[in-house]
Structure 1
Amino acid sequence: MTTLTLHATGPVDPAEAWDRYLYPARWSSWAPQITGVETDAARIAPGVTGRVRGPVGVSLPFVVDEVDDGGRRWRWTVQLGPIRLRLLHWVSPGPDGGTTTGLRIQGPAPLVLGYAPAALLALNGLVRRS
């Protein structure tokens, strides 16, 4: 099992960045590797399940494990066959205004390291103005 932590900082207000996480229908607007999301709820909450769609028809099931609105943190598990990636996201005020967002990815090293460039691109999209 490998764990990798990524961060990005940008001008978007923390409340806006958090809102972009809360509604899966918005994920593809800031995460270029996501082409769509099918879910059983409009807003993330513990126990919400769905499928996240990526390039070339890839569709992976996920479950939201926890959401802490006050702390602006949430965790979910994405499954690729028998393999699971656990992703912990958080949003906090940036050092000079705006937002810093973080992501801790846990899973098999090839998947974690292979996903890291796309994840960093998405994090940067999350904290940038549309």
Structure 2
Amino acid sequence: MTLSAEGAAQPDTVWQRYADVDQWASWSPQIKKVHSVGRRLGPGLSGMVEALGGIRAAFVVEAVDRDRRTWTWRVRLGRIQIRLHHGVKPQGRGSTTSLTMYGPGLVLLAYAPLARLALHRLVQP
């Protein structure tokens, strides 16, 4: 499943919001806090995302391409695992961000509305 959003935020701004894990809660309403040793996005970064309702999901970043502004991570909640691939590109005077998700169909359908909201917030100035 692929989702995308366009907004007025510049691509470098959007990328920095991804790259600094301490900013994730500012644009992703389902995330309360990120627990990890590193604070910058990089391959091998792992930790726990604390979500609304006290839900904690383990994650590991698989790949980061700063030049292309793309990154991929795996998130696990119990026996459920999803893989998420993010990208940021210039679009007009702002940017577009995309998210391609791989995992159980019903889980992706349930998560999609929150993901859409987060993507729209991510690209706002």
Same fold (TM over 0.5): yes
Measure the CA separation in 2 of the matches of 1:89 and 1:116.
Answer: 14
Counterpart residue number, 2:62? 65
2:115 matches 1:122: no
Scaled by the length of structure 1, what TM-score is found? 0.94
- Paired letter, 1:126: L
TM-score w.r.t. the length of structure 2 is: 0.98
Alignment of 1:13-92 (within 5 A): 13-92=10-89
Equivalent residue for 1:12, pick from 9, 14, 23 = 9
- Give how far 1:110 is off: 1.0
Measure, in 2, the Cα distance between the counterparts of 1:40 and 1:111: 28
Q: Identity percentage over the alignment?
A: 43
Divergent runs of 4+, >3 A: none
The size of the alignment, in residue pairs, is: 125
* Distance in 2 of aligned mates of 1:28 and 1:86: 19
Q: Does 1:99 align with 2:101?
A: no
Cα distance in 1, alignment partners of residues 104 and 111 from structure 2: 11
Q: Give 1:76's aligned amino acid.
A: W
Q: Distance in 1 between matches of 2:64 and 2:13?
A: 16
- The C-alpha deviation readout for 1:68-103, integer Å capped at 9, x for no partner, is 000000000000112210000000001x21010000
The answer for unaligned runs of 5 or more in structure 2 is none
